[in-house]
Structure 1
Amino acid sequence: MGEAQGQAPFWGTSNPLRSHKIFKFLRYNSGSMGSQAPHYLSIKISLKARPFLRRMGLLLVLGSVLLISALAVSIQASEKPQRSTEIIVSYTQSEWWLIRWSTNQPECQIITDHEGLPNGDDVFIYCGEKLYKQWFATETCPEAISANGDTARCQGLYLHLISQTPMEKIVQVDLPIAEAWINLTGCTPIPPENRCDTLPNLLIIGEEPLPNEQIVQIQGTFNNIPFVCPPGETCEIPLRPTPLEGAVVEFWSTSSFGDSSEHYSALVRVIDGGAAIAPGTGGWYIDVMSDRWLGVQPSSCAQVWGTFPPIGGEVPNWLASPSDPQLLASDEPYTYLAGRLIANGVIDASECPAGGLEFNGYANTCGLEKSRAEVTLWQNQFDDRLVAVAAETNIPSQLMKNLFAQESQFWPGVYRTAEEYGFGQLTEKGADTVLLWNENFYFQFCPLVLSADICGVGYAQLDEESQALLRGALAIDVNADCADCVAGIDLSHADFTIDLFAQSIKANCVQTGQIVSNHTGLPPAEVSSYQELWRYTLVNYHAGPGCLSDAFNRTRQAGQPLNWGNVAAQLNILCPGAVEYVDKVAKE
């Protein structure tokens, strides 16, 4: 449009060699740091354009050159040295042929650089989808095993190794980047109190993994106030009182390599304990929450929600994690547990009516009396493991014990129905929650069942068959039933399953926090207290996310604040039994 075929444009002639002049502008290569080899940027401008257009053209050209030059400088200034190196790797290159049984003729060539037979991806890439499907569907050829067999009678394709050649290749390897960690100087807080007699300093420690480099400086912000430390790999920041919700510290380390670590963050709470009126009182309560914290971590769910436990560690007993297993000891008359012990021959209740059992499998009064001592021993034999798992996962040990008491009365096999397994009575939906909401656990567990390549996409992206396989495998793992074991239970495996249920509780913490945020648009810590979030998590574990979400909806529709009292009132209508369950687990 605007230019007829065979005619010159109105601003020039038909001879491009005479109508244009080439302007060359010296420019430096911005492709790599330190490279300053000049080259020319050629721009062609019409000389016979109208004066106005000619002036505008020159202005546009000069502006473009200035912009390109500025971009080149900007790119060079912003580029950071890449932490990578090249290494030479020796390997064996194998040549394979995909051959048809019936004709003994090769259909395609496959080149591999890994040990063993070509895998499905190799066949698909080199031979195409059609041959891949034929090869995949090929059954064993019995004629190939027989000395006088006629392989031409076999259908499909087979792989045959033709040659192997030693080779070398250059592989680019990413090098580890600098890091930074935080700790305290002047005090080592002991959980759950975390009290210091005097106000300590926050210690930031830079770490450079490369042997010929070092950390040259640490900097960051404390409650949005910048700080820059003296040159070196450590830095001490004087702490000062913070609000009850804590203050955010952002920090990072700079390396002599020319780059910096990630920008890490920590939530720090510093509360004045008042004047000391007796030994062990007063001072300062110091809590730090960060994955870079070198001290003892708070509850893992507290980190998920971004909320601190009560000041001084004054949590209710049901959220405690005593270091002494004896503090977890209980002596409850669990009738279902007594019934299981009688039914599995641990207790002889033959003198009791009906052999000591009710029709539903629970112990009757006589059966419980016969079993009382063993019931007490049984419910406390897992306390050592509960304390250890609490230390490893930061899930409160008393919470886990109370939850197991309500779910299974400490019977770690199938309970009541074949769809509920283990101490915490994991269901299919419960397994789904663990795998979907506890990402770290999923990536550890999935490769034990499926290939790492399949697992890499994440649980939510797996097909339904793969998800079902994982749920089934997890249910088997938490079930300690053992036909050949004393009492029908593998006690060592039962100990192992406690960690799996701790991971399940953590998954419910994550899901609960997300539900709170979905309904309020705020982080969980800005909506609910530490104890309330735990109560919501127990609802989520027992009754499911649907009940919890519906209760939140009804509470907000009623114009009421989102607190446990108001949510519990809605739960009593929507999900009878949920509040009673929480009250039993959260008993003092």
Structure 2
Amino acid sequence: MKQTQHFAGNVFQRGRGILRALFACAAVFSLLAGSVKPSSAEGDPRVLHEQVTVQSSHWQLLRWNDGSVVCNIYVDHASQPSIDDVNFSCGAKVSQTWLSTPACSPAQYGASSSNCTGLMLRYLGGQTRTETKVVELPEITMRLYLTDCQPGQWCENRPGLRLIAEEPVDGHQITNIYVRVVDNEKAFNGPVSELKLPPTGEKGEWLEYWAESDFGDRSQRFQVKYRAYSGVQDGRQVYRFDLLTEEWASSLPGGALLWQMFPPVDGSVPKLFEQPLAPGYLATTNRYALLAGNLIRNGLVEDAASCSDRGVLQNGAASVCGERAAAEAVLTWQNKYDAQIYAAGLHYNVPARIIKGVIAQESQFWPESSDPYERGLGYITENGVSMLLLWNLNYYAEACLPIYGRAGCAAGYTSMREDRQITLRRAVFDRIGSESEIDLIAAMLYASAAQTQQMVKNVTRAEPAEASTYEDMWMMTIANYYAGSGCLGNALNASRNETYPLKWQTLAGYLEETCTIADAYVDRVINYSD
């Protein structure tokens, strides 16, 4: 991965608010399968104002020998101050002196304490007051169930939904559920609603829903994109149903959820972009001369010794004789990572065949690079790791939190001091050569997909579903992984007057001279198994 250019300015920087949300507690959305996008909450948080009685007391620490006051302690309870109370009011040094003070025997018998050392605690009095306590209450939760058809299938019955809203506050109940779809809004009485989804075009529609309570407020508005495309098969009307949610991500090709765009409804997505059914479907039988040369040089092909040139050319690739000798080893080696690639593709929602194609193009599956600036199976660079830490927020959190903690990571990668950025990048580089290296490459491709999405939106002022196609978004993502955001961003800017959907073949014509190699790279990655 070259990553030689970066788009000028900060037009492609993401907002820090995303990071704050990442590090906040958000258990409520797990009820929605982690998939449905909430819009902003309406009004103030749910709160209850309670009148509570608070008893406070005043204490002092004094010196035994002269009775001088060292510290005043005010606490919101009637009991003797705790160590934490004393620490807070007087500091750790005074607190420790008080703890280590021995009993003053003369004072116990009414005699002078002038010869005693240390500190004594004295109670001065207390008072009772009434305060208003603000108690935050749990939010209304909503659950979505599917009826009549499952995502990723053609069904004779029109897909339906069942929505259930729950009011967690005792003594209150859900009054209505509202659903808005295709510019129509419908209200349902009570906490349960069932409806048939209206048919959509190939690009789908947004479904929005929320609930109201007799508490006097409403839930967040939740949004999910669906497609119920009507067609005819064998003379029968059928519906292709797709849902862009985490829960049914396995029914979607990689990237569809991130970009909120559906693949072609006719199932014409090339095999490259589909998630294979099992690791075995990733197997290839390609010739790799450089891989063969590496295997021979490292003593992994015994038969090469019989070649007159020892099986290796001066450039490190295998000779014709060497390739013949190493053929079986090359076949085994190029498929040795398939199980890891398959798992990483599912985890990061990146097509596994693209991951394998990138590795094939970058390193021919040999884990050691001769280039000091590009490392590992994916020829990973510092610029590439920076892209990863900026655009894959989950991976950033996973890498950052163990090193710098929540407070040190919350502001984001670009806000860190340079020395901290270097340390974090090194921590990521340390994963090269480990069991998690394939995950790292998949995570970087996901980061590239996220950055590509933002560049497309910034330049076209449109969502990817409107500005381009599913296949072309992946081609742009691969180019961005290899050449960097400068190459792709400048090409997007130069193509502003092109009609949509924007195709990679058109965009490649706008690549600057130093970036044109990205077009050939994309072609080799997507055709690696041919």
TM-score (norm 1): 0.65
- State the alpha-carbon separation in 1 of the partners of residues 48 and 370 from structure 2: 57
Tell me the residue number matched to 1:387. Answer: 342
1:327-347 deviation line (CA, Å, top 9, x unaligned) = 211011112222222233322
Question: Which residues of 2 match residues 223-302 of structure 1 at below 5 A?
Answer: 223-232=182-191, 234-255=192-213, 258-276=216-234, 283-290=238-245, 296=250, 298-299=252-253, 301-302=255-256
Residue-pair matches, total: 427
1:96-122 deviation line (CA, Å, top 9, x unaligned) = xxxxxxxxxxxxxxxxx999xx9xxx9
- State the alpha-carbon separation in 2 of the partners of residues 560 and 298 from structure 1: 23
For the Cα contact (< 8 Å) 2:467–2:501, is it kept in 1?
no
1:158-193 deviation line (CA, Å, top 9, x unaligned) = 99955679xxxxx9986643332434201223x4xx
Partner SS state of residue 542, structure 1: helix
Kindly state the Cα deviation for residue 262 of structure 1 after the two structures are TM-superposed: 1.9
Is 2:476 the partner of 1:536? yes
Partner SS state of residue 161, structure 2: strand
Task: Point out where structure 2 has 5 or more consecutive residues left out of the alignment.
Answer: 1-41, 52-81, 101-132
Q: 1:334 to 1:572 in 2, by over 3 A?
A: farther
- State the alpha-carbon separation in 1 of the partners of residues 243 and 49 from structure 2: 34
- State the alpha-carbon separation in 2 of the partners of residues 265 and 333 from structure 1: 48
1:81-138 deviation line (CA, Å, top 9, x unaligned) = 327999xxxxxxxxxxxxxxxxxxxxxxxxxx999xx9xxx9xx989xxxxxxxxxxx
Q: 1:241 to 1:571 in 2, by over 3 A?
A: same
Is 2:47 the partner of 1:82? yes
For the Cα contact (< 8 Å) 2:165–2:211, is it kept in 1?
yes
For the Cα contact (< 8 Å) 1:555–1:561, is it kept in 2?
no
Is 2:270 the partner of 1:316? yes
For the Cα contact (< 8 Å) 2:203–2:262, is it kept in 1?
yes
Is 2:398 the partner of 1:398? no
Question: Which residues of 2 match residues 504-543 of structure 1 at below 5 A?
Answer: 504-543=444-483
Tell me the residue number matched to 2:156. Answer: 197
1:193-218 deviation line (CA, Å, top 9, x unaligned) = x3223212123233556688765542
- State the alpha-carbon separation in 2 of the partners of residues 340 and 83 from structure 1: 70
Task: Point out where structure 1 has 5 or more consecutive residues left out of the alignment.
Answer: 1-76, 87-112, 128-157, 166-170, 481-492
Q: 1:536 to 1:254 in 2, by over 3 A?
A: same
Tell me the residue number matched to 1:564. Answer: 504
Q: 1:295 to 1:518 in 2, by over 3 A?
A: closer
- State the alpha-carbon separation in 1 of the partners of residues 188 and 469 from structure 2: 36
- Structure with the bigger RCO (C-alpha within 8 Å, sep 6+) is 2
- State the alpha-carbon separation in 2 of the partners of residues 584 and 455 from structure 1: 38
Q: 1:345 to 1:249 in 2, by over 3 A?
A: same
For the Cα contact (< 8 Å) 1:289–1:297, is it kept in 2?
no
Tell me the residue number matched to 2:56. Answer: none
Q: 1:333 to 1:286 in 2, by over 3 A?
A: same
Is 2:526 the partner of 1:586? yes
- State the alpha-carbon separation in 2 of the partners of residues 78 and 207 from structure 1: 19
Question: Which residues of 2 match residues 325-364 of structure 1 at below 5 A?
Answer: 325-348=279-302, 349-364=304-319
For the Cα contact (< 8 Å) 2:468–2:500, is it kept in 1?
no
Question: Which residues of 2 match residues 123-134 of structure 1 at below 5 A?
Answer: none
1:337-382 deviation line (CA, Å, top 9, x unaligned) = 2222223332223333443223333222222222211211121122
- State the alpha-carbon separation in 2 of the partners of residues 355 and 179 from structure 1: 69
For the Cα contact (< 8 Å) 1:203–1:235, is it kept in 2?
yes
Is 2:141 the partner of 1:179? yes
What amino acid maps onto 2:139 in structure 1?
I
Kindly state the Cα deviation for residue 448 of structure 1 after the two structures are TM-superposed: 2.6
Tell me the residue number matched to 1:376. Answer: 331
What amino acid maps onto 2:477 in structure 1?
T
What amino acid maps onto 2:186 in structure 1?
F
For the Cα contact (< 8 Å) 1:356–1:363, is it kept in 2?
yes
For the Cα contact (< 8 Å) 1:270–1:286, is it kept in 2?
yes
- State the alpha-carbon separation in 2 of the partners of residues 224 and 269 from structure 1: 15
Across the aligned residues of Structure 1 and Structure 2, the Cα RMSD in angstroms comes to: 3.8
Kindly state the Cα deviation for residue 500 of structure 1 after the two structures are TM-superposed: 2.0
Q: 1:364 to 1:237 in 2, by over 3 A?
A: same
Question: Which residues of 2 match residues 428-467 of structure 1 at below 5 A?
Answer: 428-467=382-421
Q: 1:221 to 1:367 in 2, by over 3 A?
A: same
Larger radius of gyration: 1
For the Cα contact (< 8 Å) 1:323–1:387, is it kept in 2?
no
Q: 1:345 to 1:287 in 2, by over 3 A?
A: same
Kindly state the Cα deviation for residue 499 of structure 1 after the two structures are TM-superposed: 2.0
For the Cα contact (< 8 Å) 1:203–1:236, is it kept in 2?
yes
Q: 1:296 to 1:321 in 2, by over 3 A?
A: closer
What amino acid maps onto 2:177 in structure 1?
I
Tell me the residue number matched to 1:489. Answer: none
TM-score (norm 2): 0.71
What amino acid maps onto 1:186 in structure 2?
D
- State the alpha-carbon separation in 2 of the partners of residues 444 and 209 from structure 1: 32
For the Cα contact (< 8 Å) 1:183–1:294, is it kept in 2?
no
- State the alpha-carbon separation in 2 of the partners of residues 385 and 282 from structure 1: 41
For the Cα contact (< 8 Å) 2:148–2:159, is it kept in 1?
yes
- State the alpha-carbon separation in 2 of the partners of residues 206 and 578 from structure 1: 50
Q: 1:350 to 1:175 in 2, by over 3 A?
A: farther
Tell me the residue number matched to 2:370. Answer: 416
Kindly state the Cα deviation for residue 263 of structure 1 after the two structures are TM-superposed: 1.1
Question: Which residues of 2 match residues 79-118 of structure 1 at below 5 A?
Answer: 81-82=46-47
- Give % identity: 32
What amino acid maps onto 1:532 in structure 2?
D
What amino acid maps onto 1:221 in structure 2?
R
For the Cα contact (< 8 Å) 2:467–2:500, is it kept in 1?
no
- State the alpha-carbon separation in 1 of the partners of residues 83 and 394 from structure 2: 29
- State the alpha-carbon separation in 2 of the partners of residues 516 and 313 from structure 1: 25
1:437-491 deviation line (CA, Å, top 9, x unaligned) = 11122112211332332112111211111111111211121x11xxxxxxxxxxx
Q: 1:501 to 1:569 in 2, by over 3 A?
A: same
Kindly state the Cα deviation for residue 576 of structure 1 after the two structures are TM-superposed: 2.6
1:411-440 deviation line (CA, Å, top 9, x unaligned) = 2x3323122223222110000001001112
